[in-house]
Structures are given as C-alpha cells and as structure tokens.
Structure 1
C-alpha cells in the first residue's frame, strides 16, 4: 500500500485541467489539504471540495502579502464563519518571515500580522479546528508563544525550518511538521527530519511551488511525495512501507479525515 495525503497544497493555484489530472490520475493520493491564500482563494477551494471529494479545504490568509484592509478582513472573517463546517482547518496563516526580510524596513507592521494570527487562533480554538502555520526560523518561537497563550493543541507547521531548541519545543508540545520534496536534496531539511519523531510528521508538496534537485523543471505534483517517503525511510531507518503507513495514520488522525 502506498496511500498518501498531501497535507499542504495550494490546489486553487493550479489550472482546471491540472487539477483534474492530479485528482483523476493519482489513485494513491487519498486526499489533499488545500490551503487558502485569501478570500477568493478560499472560495475556489470550497468549490473544488464540492467537485472533488478528495479535496479538503482550509480557509485563512497567507502572511507573505500585505495585510488586508479592515473591510476585506471583515468580509473574509464573515465568509469563513459562514462556511466553517466545510473547512478541515484554519490555514494558511502565520507570520511574514520572507516578506519582512525582503522589505528590510524597520517600520514593517509586524504587530498587525501578529494580531491577525491571534484572531485566527481564537477561531481555531473556538471551532476546535487544526491550524496550518507558516512560521519559520525566528518566527517559529513567537508563534509557539501564541499557540501556548491560546491553548492550541493541533498545530501544523508546514515546511518547517528552525533551530534545535525550537524543534524540541514543537516536539514537546505535540505539534506536527510536514516535509516537502526538498527533503530529498536539502541537508538542512534532512537534519530536521532526523530529529523529529515520525509520529508527528506529515508530507506535503506546497504545490505549485517548484522544486530543485531531481525535480528541477518539473511541475509540482503529489506523486513527488513518493520520493519524500523514500528519503524519510532512509533517514529514520524504517522500511518504506512502515513510513507510508505511519504518515497516512498521522495525517488522518491530525485532520480527522
């Protein structure tokens, strides 16, 4: 058995024919967790979930963009609340690490992003939904502080990058992380995989984000996760079959699929 769940993909960013191909030509993919970028993204993910039973939508506001104005934020939050029964999680939400590094502006409105993230955490707690997080490097400890403040237990740090101290904190708190296909060729990611317990791990593509190494020039597809599983099996000293089974179990349990 090689059944998998793509725990983090932006399916709405693919073209219709690409989505059809991903869903129809991938019998080994049980489900995909399609995270949202903004309101329009959330609306499309909802439509995709209604068309394809494999698509499990998460609704949120991606942090690597400008903050929404008050009207847009109100519209987003109202829409999410009215469709909360259709979503599997709050996401993708978090803090704008790469945007902040790019801007290199001391007046960058980080506090506004923190307040927005807290608002999403309040909803996750209230509605008992998992939260899907974009929180890497120096932002990860700050996000851990907020998760602890709001007593959030089900937190998924997608494509996590951070130091060993933060890794140990994530493990202790029972948070999950997921690995993209770059685990095949990125030593930084491979070292994190060695440290993190396999029962708190998932795999993802973050598609359509492109990858390098053996995936250079290829369109990102959930089938690439087979290579991620193979790498994990070697790093963990487990059989490939054991890893497939454990990852599937982890993701189904975390997202209550």
Structure 2
C-alpha cells in the first residue's frame, strides 16, 4: 500500500528512544508509521533496562530496530553493571542493529567541570570493541570538543561505521568526520537553528541521516507537539532547500544512506 507521502518519499528515523514514550504513544506512533511514510525506527538504548525494552519492541514489530548501549549523560556504570550490559549485548548481538547510544557526558561536565571523563572513556572503548567484534555500527553522543576525543578512539580501533547523532562541532572536527566517512543525523531543529542549517550546508548528503531523538521535544513550528517520526519529512524539505537539490533526490539519497549504513 502506498503511504500518504508516496512510495518514493519513505524515510527511516535513524535515532529515537522509543522505549521512553508511554505505551499509548508507542502504539500511536507504530500505528501511524505506514501512512506517515516511515519505513523503520532505529531505537537506541539508555541502559540495560532500556535495552531489554527495546529488544522486546523489536521482537514485536519487524520495523523496529534495536540498538544497545549506555547513554553517557548519567552516573558512570560500575564494573558489575557494565559486565551485565556487555553480557546482554553478547547474548543478543544477532538481534541488535547497532551499539548505541554511547559516548561522553558533555552536558554533565558543563554542570560539573570537575567530573572525571576517564571512566566514561574506558566504558566507551569497551563499546567500540564490541561494535568491532560484532561488525555493527556505533551510535555516538559526542558533540563539540568531545567528538575529536571520540574520533581518536574510533581511529585507534579502525572503526568505519560511526554515526554521530545530533552532531554539533567546529569546522576542523566536521572535516575530520567527513574524511573518516562518518555519518551525522539531522534533527527537526534544522527548521529553525542556524548552526544546524550551516552544518547541513557543509556536510555531504551522502553521509547524512535524519532523526527525531524522540521523545525529546522541539520548539519552533513543533512547539507543544509530541515528537513524532513524521517530523523528519519537514527536515528533508529543509535539507533540500539548503542544498538547493530536488526534494525527491534528497529523499532517495537519505533512505539509501540509512539502509546501507545500518544494513537494513
């Protein structure tokens, strides 16, 4: 059946926290995906409990793809908890689409400049090793100066498939990501944030995905709305406008990017 956006205008939300929505919100999103022109959702995990819930969702719905990881903007895992998460990933590695969301605690360190980054780096390197072992992409929370630090680790382990979600950074880091063949994903704030619009202008379309990071709320034209994967259609329209490309070409390229990167 053709969706309301036409078969040539299908997309994949490359980064969403589906488990963080209420059950009724999850049901609403999943019931509207086909008509909204959303082929799949890549739902990333916050911790072990989140990974278990995302695994359950992926087993119940073929178009839900689960990634397992530990979001860095929280208290660091102790050795026992980290081993429990690693064991879960090892046990379910064939059911995960990627390692993620993982990275470094940028916002926590802004609030607490004395927070040590070392234990987070140690944990991140373990996730990078897992991604390499199971030949899976890695989904990264690494912005501004942290992105360069993460690049060092990725290069150390010769990681090719890295996805920097909702990336923000300087020109030197942007050029480094592009050189390494890493992907970024663009959120709906591209409609109203000049920094994100500038990033879209700089970054190659061939290394670009789209995401919502839902249920994170947006402002601008999305003020007061539940974050829904259908918002990424408006992101595509804005990307096409910024890059002065035909909108159909942008749809096609970003869908191909996502499928090839995540081997969907």
Q: Aligned with 2:12: secondary structure?
A: strand
> Is residue 18 from structure 1 mapped to residue 22 from structure 2 by the alignment?
no
> Is residue 127 from structure 1 mapped to residue 134 from structure 2 by the alignment?
yes
Structure 2 matches for 1:42-121, cutoff 5 A?
42-105=51-114, 108-121=115-128
> Aligned residue for 1:8?
15
> Aligned residue for 1:183?
190
Q: CA deviation at 1:178?
A: 0.2
Distance in 2 between residues matched to 1:181 and 1:96, nearest whole Å: 23
User: TM (normalized to structure 2)?
Assistant: 0.96
> Aligned residue for 1:225?
232
Q: CA deviation at 1:167?
A: 0.4
> Aligned residue for 1:138?
145
> Aligned residue for 1:253?
260
Which among 168, 177, 181 is matched to residue 161 of structure 1?
168
Distance in 1 between residues matched to 2:129 and 2:11, nearest whole Å: 30
Q: Aligned with 1:88: secondary structure?
A: strand
Distance in 2 between residues matched to 1:15 and 1:52, nearest whole Å: 16
Q: Aligned with 1:37: secondary structure?
A: coil
> Aligned residue for 2:241?
234
Distance in 1 between residues matched to 2:30 and 2:251, nearest whole Å: 19
Q: CA deviation at 1:70?
A: 1.7
> Is residue 172 from structure 1 mapped to residue 179 from structure 2 by the alignment?
yes
Q: CA deviation at 1:104?
A: 2.5
> Is residue 211 from structure 1 mapped to residue 210 from structure 2 by the alignment?
no
Aligned length: 255
Distance in 1 between residues matched to 2:21 and 2:61, nearest whole Å: 14
Stretches of structure 2 that go unaligned for 5 or more consecutive residues are 1-7
Distance in 2 between residues matched to 1:235 and 1:37, nearest whole Å: 33
Q: Aligned with 2:152: secondary structure?
A: helix
Q: CA deviation at 1:109?
A: 2.1
Distance in 2 between residues matched to 1:173 and 1:73, nearest whole Å: 29
Distance in 2 between residues matched to 1:154 and 1:26, nearest whole Å: 27
Deviates more, 1:21-30 or 1:217-226: 21-30
CA deviation profile, 1:70-98 (whole Å, cap 9, x unmatched)? 22111111111101110000000000001
Q: Spell out structure 1 runs of 4+ moving beyond 2 A.
A: none
